[in-house]
RNA sequence: GGGCGAGUGGCGAAACGGCAGACGCGCCAGCCUUAGGAGCUGGUACCGGAAACGGUGUGCGGGUUCGAGUCCCGCCUCGCCCACCA
């Protein structure tokens, strides 16, 4: 470095240093990972890629800069670190912006990406830009299409007509995109309606059981719990009831129900079908037709409003038909009610009001019989016939069956198994497992997404687009005149095509894919973004997957993080990848809220832009401040209060490093060793502190505890400040402490560390080499060891005294010493100690009575 | 209603069952300065006391323990997720 450059700042001037080093690092290609390099252990560090909204806000910094610190930390440990980045660039905001500004979503998106690339660079993050992935690029989304075709071939993708959640603004939604009691759209907040549509699905349910298995994954417990609950496995039985003949229909239809309590089968006093159930029209007696149809219309329309009511009173109507209970031959009335969901189980239930709260409430409201068939141990045989005041749900080992024919008197658990066996034998049912998880509804009636690569031919039906004709490209010019509706529908040049099978005229599918498809496999693509033969190079994938550490928000618990696991398993089964789990270790950082405590959003006007802070303090200060705020998984409302403390800290590091002999005027003690301490003792103190800090800070980086990591660096710099200008400043111990401080700072505040490192090298007349390519220092355990320790002394658990003793003083000696201390004697009030507890060498507790 | 998580100074927060409040902000005082919204030093949980020191303190009530912010039981409050899943 030239003298001119070196003198560019005598003060710490971040705005001069940071662009300089960012340029140097890029020039040297310091962070372009060589994926083929096997000489070092691999470390795949992934952070959730951003949506190109246009501007990087403080939340992006909160996610990315600690992740970058982790990357630098691992790199200094000699690992081959891969930290890629990309843009999740399909989706509605682009389309909405396009409609508003009458431009193409592509132009809007690409402009935003260009802008955000520069902003990301200003953080000093070590992303490997060579591997960048942009999902709206045909070179990316063609592989969405390719994978989709493989799924289609394997039966993992299918088209089906079914009632879907429909948002008037955003079209169809996946189930997890519908939120709240009032069932509103996760994006625009509009109430969601039900519509019957032909839609594309992915068979996520095929992997339901495997998705419940988290073996080997280091994921936060809450996320695993959420996914487990979302998949919602329940074991029970499917039971076949048969409809009874009557004057309007011949009967004999199978009415299948799912129950988790086959042991209560004798207590089924009525049946309930969902209003959408296929048998409803047939089973509705002519005399009840008007009432039933009115109910169906009412529930279809008013569902959301009724569900808003906290009482949630049960509603329903009798169909006029009956079904025969397979175990006791009883005729049970068939009702319809909207508390039975069409999409779960078989869409119909056997109602056992005595042992289910919802059925109980329904029976009470409509005066239906309630028959107890399970009794707890506290209920005597004589009491069994007493009417229940509430449903008896408990399912303990002591429960026994009553009023259940031959099964009466059996423990309920045995009855459960016996009834299932009996049903199976008679062909009237079977053991069955149900999941709350549904198949993934992936079609969207939108322009700005990956076209689903199929065509519809009058002759050949649904025909996949052959792989060699991929990608099916989005038309570049689209008409947004009729805003809201999918412009692909009216784009004749897109829609009209020929059938790949017969060559005749055909129409393209105009639905596009849910953007969560893009993010379900993007980390694979990072590994071989240019590969023209496969979504991912299997050899590279075998070496680099799974991702070692993934960082991102917990709001993706049951969407992105579950879809990604599904994709990985499906891709493995279809031979595209080896690994069955995408992310070995997951960390959910918290969310930075606006200053008002609300989620940051443009519409609320509480979005925090880091640019002003970066200009004033520099990127390093902002990075460190975000890490220092609190535990990374916590987040919280944004406030820049306190950033001055970080700024002061870095200035202090600057001064102790570059001006060790300076003396501070305001302090008469400055430049003088503490009373009673000679140079040797002071050096020992400094060395001990430096190595102990190194040990702690190393653990804190590895454990992602950045807030306390920064605090410990502050303590060390405060200690150095104390010794600045004294006779030990510039000694070997001093220089070592400075060197360790700068090295420990390097991952978190990379620019200032690099600048100081280069100046230290220059001062020694050495050639600069990057601090980030330097090995992480090793703790000198002999230096970190202490010769003395301070022992707090308690009497009956109350702190009364402290003594400083040699570290290796035997317990008996320590005890004698402590018991002679005046404060301890006073606290004992003449009583004799019962025992003295030496708590792991940390503290002494004297117990008296 | 169910599940998960969290309640500690004026504020952000620390604390393998072992000295509660590290570190930082803010505030107070002193120093240094032509000046300072710069820098340095000290103080700062609450009550009493000039101080030494004493007492009280981690949402509330119990319990286990030599010892509980931490573990167990029951409540209260807040946040997030799921909400009629048979």
| DSSP conformation letters of A339-377 | TS-TTSTTSEEEE-GGG-HHHHHHHHHHT------EE-T
pLDDT at residue A354 in the model: 92
Beta bridge partners of A334: A271
Q: Is A263 helix (H, G, I), strand (E, B) or coil?
A: helix
- Mean pLDDT along residues A785-805: 87
CA of A584 to C1' of B59 (A): 38
For the ranges A10-14, A229-233, A424-428, the one whose mean pLDDT is highest: A424-428
Rounded to whole angstroms, the Cα distance separating A90 from A473 reads 14
Of the pLDDT bands very low, low, confident and very high (cuts 50, 70, 90), residue A627 is: very high
Q: What pLDDT shows up at residue A512?
A: 93
Are A76 and A774 in contact by the 8 Å Cβ rule? The answer is yes
pLDDT: which is higher, A185 or A271: A271
Give pLDDT, residue A187.
Answer: 67
ipTM > 0.85 for the complex: yes
* Residue A30 clears pLDDT 90, i.e. is over it: no
Band (pLDDT 50/70/90 cuts) for residue A2 is: very low
Confidence of residue A834 (pLDDT cuts 50, 70, 90): confident
What is the pLDDT at residue A660? 92
Torsion, Cα of A789, A810, A825, A804 (10° steps): -20
Q: What is the DSSP letter of A218?
A: B
Asked if pLDDT for residue A260 goes beyond 80, the answer is yes
Lowest mean pLDDT among A47-51, A250-254, A551-555, A624-628: A551-555
Mean predicted confidence (pLDDT) in A615-625:
94
List the A776 CA – B69 C1' distance (angstroms).
Answer: 35
The predicted pLDDT at position A29 comes to: 85
- The answer to whether the C-beta of A721 is closer than 7 A to strand B is yes
Amino acid whose CA is nearest the C1' of B54: A800
Burial A3-21, CB ≥16 within 10 A → b, else e: eeeeeebeebebeebbebb
Residues above pLDDT 90, as percent of chain A? 62
Residues 330-349 of A with CB under 7 A from strand B: 338-341, 344-345, 347-349
* pLDDT score of A364: 92
Average pLDDT value for residue range A35-47: 95
In the three-class reduction of DSSP (H, G, I as helix; E, B as strand; rest coil), residue A51 is classed as: coil
Summarised one tens digit per residue, pLDDT across range A590-618 is: 888 888 777 787 777 788 888 889 999 99
- Return the pLDDT at A268: 95
The single-letter DSSP state of residue A384 is G
Q: What is the pLDDT of residue A253?
A: 94
Output the pLDDT for position A543: 96
Q: Is the CB of A719 under 7 A from strand B?
A: no
* pLDDT tens figures, A540-584: 999 999 999 999 988 888 889 999 999 999 999 999 999 999 999
* pLDDT at residue A117 greater than cutoff 80: yes
Range in A162-166, A188-192, A483-487, A502-506 with the lowest mean pLDDT: A483-487
Q: Quote the pLDDT of residue A302.
A: 53
* Residue A410 CB partners (closer than 8 Å, separation 6+): A400, A401, A404, A418
Give the pLDDT score at A759. 94
A711: how many CB neighbours lie within 10 A of its CB?
15
What is the rounded distance in angstroms from the CA atom of residue A349 to the CA atom of residue A345? 9
What residues contact residue A89 under an 8 Å CB cut-off, 6+ apart? A51, A52, A109, A113, A134, A135, A136, A137
- Residues of A (11-30) placing their beta carbon closer than 7 angstroms to any atom of strand B are none
Point out the nucleotide closest to A711 (alpha carbon to C1′): B23
Which nucleotide's C1' sits nearest to the alpha carbon of A823?
B53
User: How many of the other CB atoms lie within 10 Å of CB of A498?
Assistant: 12
pLDDT higher than threshold 60 for residue A483: no
Task: Kindly indicate the confidence band of residue A482, based on its pLDDT and cuts at 50, 70 and 90.
Answer: very low
Q: Pairing mode, if any, of strands A400-401 and A374-375? A: antiparallel
pLDDT of residue A331 exceeding 50: yes
pLDDT score recorded for residue A175 = 61
Confidence of residue A207 (pLDDT cuts 50, 70, 90): very high
pTM of the model: 0.91
- How high is the pLDDT of residue A677? 87
In the complex, which nucleotide's C1' lies nearest to the CA atom of residue A664?
A: B40
Residue identified by tokens 């000694």 is: A731
The mean-pLDDT minimum among A87-91, A326-330, A368-372, A481-485 falls in: A481-485
**A649 C-beta less than 7 Å away from strand B:** yes
**A448 beta carbon < 7 A from strand B?**
no
More confident residue, A413 or A396: A413
**Mind listing the pLDDT tens digit for each residue in A309-327?**
445 678 899 999 999 999 9
Distance measured from the CA of protein residue A144 to the C1' of nucleotide B84, in angstroms: 37
| CB A236 under 7 Å to nucleic chain B | yes
- Positions 749-808 of A with beta carbon below 7 A from strand B are 790, 792, 794, 796-800, 802
Burial classification of residue A775, based on how many CB atoms lie within 10 Å of its CB (0-12 exposed, 13-18 middle, 19 or more buried): exposed
- Choose the weakest-confidence range: A184-198, A218-232, A247-261, A446-460: A184-198
pLDDT of A176 > 70? The answer is: no
Residue A5: pLDDT band (50, 70, 90) is very low
Read off the pLDDT of each residue in A788-803 and give the average, rounded to a whole number.
Answer: 88
Protein-to-nucleotide distance from the CA of A802 to the C1' of B64, whole angstroms:
28
Report the pLDDT value the prediction gives residue A3, as an integer from 0 to 100. 37
Task: Give the Cα separation of A594 and A639 in Å (integer).
Answer: 8
pLDDT at A361 over 60: yes
Are A282 and A336 spatial neighbours (Cβ–Cβ below 8 Å)? no
Look up the protein residue whose alpha carbon has the minimum distance to the C1' of B41. A667
Task: Return d(Cα A705, Cα A709) in angstroms, integer.
Answer: 6
A688, A686, A772, A787: which is closest to A734 by C-alpha?
A: A686
Spanning CA of A799 to C1' of B56, the rounded length in angstroms is 14
């Amino acid at each position: 470095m030239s003298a001119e450059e070196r003198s560019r700042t005598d003060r710490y001037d971040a705005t001069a240093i940071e662009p300089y080093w960012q340029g140097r690092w890029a020039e040297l290609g310091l962070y372009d990972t060589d994926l083929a390099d096997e000489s070092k252990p691999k470390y795949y560090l992934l952070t959730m890629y951003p949506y190109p909204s246009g501007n990087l806000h403080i939340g992006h910094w909160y996610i990315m800069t600690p992740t970058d610190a982790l990357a630098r930390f691992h790199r200094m440990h000699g690992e081959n670190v891969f930290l890629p980045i990309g843009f999740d660039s399909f989706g509605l905001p682009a389309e909405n912006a396009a409609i508003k500004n009458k431009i193409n979503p592509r132009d809007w998106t690409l402009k935003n990406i260009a802008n955000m690339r520069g902003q990301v660079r200003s953080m000093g993050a070590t992303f490997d830009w060579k591997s960048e992935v942009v999902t709206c690029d045909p070179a990316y989304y063609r592989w969405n299409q390719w994978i989709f075709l493989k799924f289609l071939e394997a039966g993992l993708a299918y088209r089906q007509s079914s009632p879907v959640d429909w948002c008037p603004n955003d079209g169809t939604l996946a189930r997890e995109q519908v939120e709240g009691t009032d069932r509103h759209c996760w994006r625009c907040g509009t109430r969601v309606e039900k519509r019957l549509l032909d839609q594309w699905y992915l068979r996520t349910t095929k992997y339901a059981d495997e998705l419940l298995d988290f073996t080997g994954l280091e994921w936060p417990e809450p996320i695993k719990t959420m996914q487990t609950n979302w998949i919602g496995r329940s074991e029970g039985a499917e039971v076949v009831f048969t409809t009874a003949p009557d004057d309007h229909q011949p009967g004999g239809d199978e009415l299948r129900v799912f129950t988790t309590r086959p042991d209560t089968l004798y207590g089924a006093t009525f049946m309930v079908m969902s209003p959408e159930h296929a048998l409803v029209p047939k089973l509705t007696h002519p005399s009840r037709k008007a009432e039933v149809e009115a109910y169906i219309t009412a529930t279809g329309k008013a569902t959301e409003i009724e569900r808003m009511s906290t009482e949630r009173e049960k509603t329903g109507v009798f169909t006029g038909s009956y079904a025969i209970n397979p175990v006791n031959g009883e005729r049970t009335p068939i009702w319809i009610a909207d508390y039975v969901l069409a999409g779960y189980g078989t869409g119909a239930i056997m109602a056992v009001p005595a042992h289910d709260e919802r059925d109980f409430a329904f029976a009470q409201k409509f005066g239906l019989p309630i028959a107890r068939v399970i009794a707890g141990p506290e209920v005597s045989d004589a009491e069994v016939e007493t009417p229940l005041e509430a449903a008896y749900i408990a399912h303990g080992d002591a429960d026994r069956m009553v009023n259940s024919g031959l099964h009466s008197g059996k423990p309920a658990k045995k009855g459960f198994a016996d009834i299932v066996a009996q049903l199976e034998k008679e062909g009237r049912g079977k053991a069955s497992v149900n999941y709350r998880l549904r198949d993934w509804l992936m079609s969207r009636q939108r322009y700005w997404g990956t076209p689903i690569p199929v065509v519809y031919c009058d002759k050949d039906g649904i025909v996949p687009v052959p792989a060699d004709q991929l990608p099916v490209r989005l038309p570049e010019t689209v008409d947004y005149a009729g805003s809201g509706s999918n412009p692909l529908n009216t784009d004749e040049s897109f829609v009209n095509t020929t059938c790949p099978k017969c060559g005749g005229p055909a129409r393209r599918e105009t639905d596009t894919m849910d953007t969560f498809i893009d993010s379900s496999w993007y980390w694979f693509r990072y590994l071989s973004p240019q590969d023209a033969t496969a979504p991912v190079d299997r050899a590279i994938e075998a070496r680099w997957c799974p991702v070692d550490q993934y960082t991102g928000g917990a709001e993706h618990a049951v969407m992105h993080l579950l879809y990604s696991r599904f994709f990985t398993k499906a891709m493995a089964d279809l031979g595209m990848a080896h690994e069955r789990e995408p992310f070995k270790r997951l960390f959910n950082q918290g969310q930075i809220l606006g200053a008002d405590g609300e989620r940051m959003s443009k519409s609320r006007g509480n979005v925090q832009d880091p640019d002003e802070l970066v200009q004033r303090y520099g990127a390093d200060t902002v990075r460190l401040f975000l890490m220092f705020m609190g535990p990374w998984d916590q987040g919280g409302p944004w406030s820049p209060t306190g950033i001055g403390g970080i700024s002061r800290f870095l200035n202090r590091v600057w001064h102790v490093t570059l001006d060790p002999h300076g003396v501070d005027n305001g302090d008469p003690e400055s430049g003088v060793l503490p009373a009673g301490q000679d140079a040797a003792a002071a050096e020992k103190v400094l060395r001990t502190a430096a190595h102990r800090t190194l040990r702690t800070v190393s653990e804190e980086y590895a454990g992602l505890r950045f807030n306390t990591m920064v605090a410990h660096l502050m303590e060390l710099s405060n200690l150095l400040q104390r010794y600045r200008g004294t006779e030990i400043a510039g000694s070997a111990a001093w220089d070592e402490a400075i060197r360790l401080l700068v090295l420990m700072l390097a991952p978190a505040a990379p620019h200032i560390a690099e600048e100081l490192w280069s100046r230290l090298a220059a001062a020694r007349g050495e050639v600069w080499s990057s601090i980030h390519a330097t090995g992480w220092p090793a703790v000198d355990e002999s230096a970190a060891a202490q010769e003395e320790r301070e022992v707090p002394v308690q009497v009956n658990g109350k702190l009364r005294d402290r003594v400083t003793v040699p570290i290796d003083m035997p317990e008996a000696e320590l005890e004698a010493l402590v018991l002679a201390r005046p404060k301890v004697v006073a606290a004992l009030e003449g009583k004799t100690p019962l025992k003295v507890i030496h708590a792991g060498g940390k503290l002494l507790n004297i117990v008296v009575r």
